[in-house]
A = this chain, B = another copy of it.
């Protein structure tokens, strides 16, 4: 087997024309059973496998989906990638993966590289809000989780989900809350913050006022740790009783800062995340967070891509609140003697 057999070899072996072989391969056109048999026999006798490249050239259709993520090392993106791969596989497609390392140029060049390979479609988890990419519809493009250019976005309903956290914390009695926001140049960062803030504002109007501090950071561990450290190195009375973070990684960083500062979570401080990465359930205490429906998101993105014609509208999928050990009732500092 020094050379792979081609459709021509199969045709000769079976004593038919290549067209006929092609037809039984596609299964579309009707072929007389006798010939069909012969062809099938030839195929397995020779161990023939169609040349995907040739097929792609001829039909200018491939079965690969390109995915670009900011950083595959980020657990949430890894989860997303895994889900996209699975969804693609279910639809008989393969995955090409590229990391943009949060670099806009890399992101663009990866998209172009995918275009050059005439992939079936491209899903991009943008590194930051992309601006005017001069890309018209040769190949469908869908934004996942974070908007890329002006392409349709499939994402968690960040605002709705963030409001869930606000409800939770308010319900627990917290009236001094810090929110660690994500980068304001990401739609997810903005929407989560806005959802959270506007819910808290609403409480201010209809219930008890809440003192809300907002700090900005990146979505990673280090940012969360750093911001939380600043927030928490104040005397107890001036400290927030709850920190809501825009990502699990930030929240886990915050947890670490709290531990370093010997602040008991959840007794003295509640901490919440966003994403429900698998780690969230493993840290101590386990993290209260928002579950992003990675699987559903991925599946929808792939569907939109593959639809004929490709989906064109945004889709928002609700997140759900996962209550675990890192959040608890506010330690009512007004009662004397209960203070730290």
**Are B95 and A97 interface neighbours, CB within 8 A?**
yes
Q: How large is the interface on A (under 10, 10 to 19, 20 to 34, 35 or more residues)?
A: 35 or more
Chain B residues with Cβ below 8 Å from A98 are 85, 89, 94-95
For A259, give its contact among B71, B94, B96, B284 (CB under 8 Å): B284
For A96, give its contact among B49, B75, B97 (CB under 8 Å): B97
Contact of A53 with B by CB under 8 A: yes
**Are B116 and A49 interface neighbours, CB within 8 A?**
yes
Give per-residue flags for A72-88: 1 if the beta carbon is below 8 A from chain B beta carbons, else 0: 11010011011001100
Chain B residues with Cβ below 8 Å from A279 are 279
Contact of A138 with B by CB under 8 A: yes
Using CB atoms, name the residue of chain B closest to A259: B284
Question: Which residues on A are within 8 Å of B, measured CB to CB?
Answer: 1, 4, 49-54, 56-57, 60, 62, 64, 71-73, 75, 78-79, 81-82, 85-86, 89, 94-99, 112-113, 115-118, 136, 138, 221, 252-253, 256, 259, 278-279, 282-284
**Are A95 and B96 interface neighbours, CB within 8 A?**
yes
Shortest distance in angstroms between A73's beta carbon and chain B's nearest beta carbon?
A: 5
**Are B78 and A117 interface neighbours, CB within 8 A?**
no
Write 26 A-B pairs (CB below 8 A) sorted by A numbering: A1-B136, A49-B115, A51-B116, A51-B118, A52-B116, A52-B118, A53-B56, A53-B57, A53-B62, A53-B118, A54-B57, A72-B85, A73-B78, A73-B79, A78-B78, A82-B99, A85-B97, A85-B98, A85-B99, A89-B98, A94-B96, A94-B98, A95-B96, A95-B97, A96-B97, A256-B284
Which 4 A-B pairs give the minimum distances between C-beta atoms?
A: A97-B97, A78-B78, A53-B57, A53-B56
For A81, give its contact among B1, B72, B117, B284 (CB under 8 Å): B72
Q: How many copies does the complex hold?
A: 2
**Are B64 and A73 interface neighbours, CB within 8 A?**
no
Assembled-state Cα–Cα distance A81/B71 (Å) = 10
Known contacts A71-B82, A72-B72; A256/B278 CB under 8 A: no
Shortest distance in angstroms between A242's beta carbon and chain B's nearest beta carbon?
A: 20
Shortest distance in angstroms between A291's beta carbon and chain B's nearest beta carbon?
A: 15
Assembled-state Cα–Cα distance A75/B277 (Å) = 11
Assembled-state Cα–Cα distance A2/B221 (Å) = 45
Assembled-state Cα–Cα distance A72/B67 (Å) = 14
Chain B residues with Cβ below 8 Å from A79 are 73
Known contacts A95-B97, A118-B53; A282/B85 CB under 8 A: no
